[in-house]
Amino acid sequence: MSTEPVGTLVLDPIRCDGRGMCHDAAPGLIELDEWGYPLLPSGTLRAPIERSDMKAARDATHACPLLALHIER
Amino acid sequence: MTARLGLSTPPSLAAHHREFGRLPLVDARRGDRPGDLVDDVERAALRGRGGGWFPTHLKLRAVVDSSAARGPLSRSRRPVVIGNGMEGEPASGKDAALLTRSPHLVLDGISAAARTIGATDAFIAVHRGSPAVPSLEVALAERASSRIDPVTIRIVTPPARYVASEESALAHWVGDGEATPVFPDRPFQRGAAGRPTLVQNAETLAHLGLIARRGGAWFAEVGAPGAPGTTLVTVGGSVPNPGVVEVPTGTAVHEILARCGGPAGTVRGYLTGGYGGGWVAAGDFDQAAWDPDSVRAAGGVIGASVLWAIGELTCPLEELARVTAWMAGESAGQCGPCMFGLPSVAEDVRSLALRTADGVEFKQLQNRLRLITGRGGCKHPDGTARLVATALDAFPDEVALHLDRRCSVAGRRGTDPAGTLPVPPARLPGLDLRRRDFT
């Protein structure tokens, strides 16, 4: 099933400094709020990720220089 | 009247022992096991009185389990217990009342908890400059000379800032000298200096001191079934005799108000729980029962058990604006949605209070409340968003008046000073949260 989440994208808001590189790497998955901080699809710190979004989630995770994102399987 | 917490007995150890008897020792020769208290606390259905009302036995067990999972530990790696007497809520006075009038009951709770979880370090945290410091110093000296505690309980005084009383921030302060919240927040696994850490509110510990003597069944004899026992309530605002009262949970709001002389004049609403709590319109809230589930069902939040009555000569939106601005300044400054979102929200609320906001700005405020919720490393932004959102819900007529450049108390304001919520001096987000700032 393509709608079945295969992992969870987790944001550590204390590490995050709002550099926006996750949004640059995965603009379709991560938006920036009006203050420049990442907004996951769930609107919270944990977002279930479907298989089709997994590459974007990985790109966003690798783009963060502060290691504020990770994927939980 | 049910008074269990010894608020009216003298604070000395001798008077305390006359009133409550000694804290029973765990006697291995009699077959007692330190963990037995956890079962008794479960039987008591004690829930934490710091604001979250989380079941206390689950926290105790989580520390015991995470410590056991690590296998044998040297004394310096074993669990830590921290009594939380910080009372970060400016409108609350219950923990200060308890720590100045019945300090030994709280310290008994720390002692019993330390024995139960095998803690080798124990602390009582009160904010810098708290009136509880001198009474705790006297109480701890009395205990030291009669050698009644399994570990020495030490006083720690983190800065008097709202987020410093959050449990991961307290563990962070004790371990590393930084009173900032930690993400993810799991002090029971990795707390002070990475050690399993139990953080319990001062009132919760006082109840624990009683359960250790009288048992869980005794504890649950009074109060609401879902959250039994008694609880301290800080009553303020538009009442003749504001102060701290002890009532069984489930006591009707009007009975609690009656203990403080009843409402002074017409009440238009209440702030419940504290600044991380929620507003409710007066309506028939005075018929609601004061326990977590009933207060929630009636639209409020029991939180730190603050009950603040707003009189008809006070504009709730002006009160909200002052408190929201202060809460914005109390951010630890660690997370963007809090550091930047709360000042934006506070500015929107200020425009609303000053009657300069239009429908577009009001819409912006509502959007921002949704935007900041659920995105902080601690619950500070969520609590502040709830404070604002519940006020907008509780006082829709006042909001409509303000958007029309009017106010229900315009021209009559200032005659109800009792309705003014306490707001300490404003400070910058994140300032003075580190020990090195004080030395």
**B255 falls in which pLDDT band (50, 70, 90)?**
very high
Number of domain units in chain A:
1
Query: What pLDDT, in 10s, does the model give residues A10-62?
Result: 999 999 999 999 999 999 999 999 999 999 999 999 999 999 999 999 999 99
What is the strand order of the sheet B230-237 is part of? B243-248, B230-237, B306-311, B267-272, B278-281
Q: How confident is the model at residue B245, as a pLDDT?
A: 98
Please state, in angstroms and rounded to a whole number, the distance separating the CA atoms of residues B322 and B340: 17
Q: How does residue B224 score in pLDDT terms, banded at 50, 70 and 90? A: very high
pLDDT at A28: 97
Render pLDDT for B302-318 as a digit per residue (tens, 0 to 9): 999 999 999 998 999 99
Q: Is the pLDDT at B42 greater than 90, yes or no?
A: yes
Banded pLDDT at B429 (limits 50, 70, 90): confident
- Residue A1, min C-alpha distance to chain B (Å): 29
Check pLDDT > 60 for residue B417. no
* CATH class, range B13-221: alpha beta
Taking an 8 Å cut-off on Cβ atoms, the answer to whether B337 and A12 are in contact is no
Residue B93 has pLDDT above 60, yes or no: yes
Say what the pTM is. Answer: 0.96
Residue type, B345: V
Tell me the residue range of the domain where A23 lies. 5-72
CB contact under 8 A, B337 and A13: yes
Whether B341 sits inside 8 A of A35 (CB atoms) is yes
Please state, rounded to an integer, the average pLDDT across all residues of chain B: 94
Cα(B2)–Cα(B306) distance, integer angstroms: 19
CATH number at residue A28: 3.30.70.20
Write down how long chain B is.
Answer: 439
Residue B418: per-residue pLDDT: 62
Tell if the CB–CB gap between B183 and A34 is shorter than 8 Å: no
Confidence band (pLDDT; 50, 70, 90) for B436? confident
The mean pLDDT of B351-363, rounded to a whole number, is 97
Cβ-Cβ contacts under 8 Å, A16 against chain B: 335-336
| Cβ–Cβ below 8 Å for A14 and B182 | yes
CATH of domain B316-430: 1.20.1440.230
CATH architecture of B224-311: Roll (3.10)
3 state SS for B179-199: CCCCCCCCCCCCCHHHCCEEE
What residue in A sits closest to B376 (Cα-Cα)?
Answer: A13
Q: What is the domain partition of chain B in residue ranges?
A: 13-221, 224-311, 316-430
On the 0-12 / 13-18 / 19+ scale of CB atoms within 10 A, B396 is exposed
Nearest CA in chain A to B364: A34
**Which ipTM value was assigned to this complex?**
0.95
Q: Which DSSP category does B25 fall into?
A: P
User: A44 and chain B: CB distance < 8 Å anywhere?
Assistant: yes
Indicate whether B102 pLDDT > 70.
yes
A36: contact with B, CB 8 A cutoff: yes
Tens digits of per-residue pLDDT, B126-183? Answer: 999 999 999 999 999 999 999 999 999 999 999 999 999 999 999 999 999 999 999 9
Q: What is the pLDDT of residue B416?
A: 60
